């Protein structure tokens, strides 16, 4: 049997699924980046905060499936913060979203 005839491994299948979901995942990260920018400008409205909370919630669950435990934890924390962003530190949130993006840029299931 030739190597190209071997069935894909679970890790290969998860990578393929991740590649399908990657654009949506990073669009959600971009939405969080926009929300943080609005907060920094003092222009984050209630609707923006609700939308950011939903994006963070969706990210938290979805990326956990792919093994991004730290990204999931950060997204869950962002969800909590955007539940009531009054008094939230935009610099801290910016740092959190940068770390979230960084965590998601590494390839899942590399071991």
CB 66 within 8 A of CB 30: no
Both structure tokens of 69: 């435990």
Mean pLDDT of the chain: 89
pLDDT 10s digits, 27-57: 999 999 999 999 999 999 999 999 999 999 9
Terminal CA-CA length for the chain = 25
- pLDDT tens column, 78-99: 999 999 998 999 999 999 999 9
């Amino acid at each position: 049997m030739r190597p190209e005839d071997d069935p894909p491994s679970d890790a290969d299948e998860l990578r393929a699924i991740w590649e399908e979901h990657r654009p949506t995942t990073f669009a959600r990260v971009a939405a969080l980046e926009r929300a943080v920018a609005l907060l920094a400008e003092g222009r984050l409205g209630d609707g923006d905060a609700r939308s950011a909370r939903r994006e963070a919630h969706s990210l938290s669950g979805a990326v956990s499936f792919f093994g991004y435990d730290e990204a999931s934890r950060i997204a869950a924390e962002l969800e909590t913060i955007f539940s009531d962003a009054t008094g939230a530190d935009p610099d801290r949130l910016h740092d959190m979203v940068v770390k979230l993006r960084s965590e998601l840029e590494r390839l899942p299931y590399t071991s």
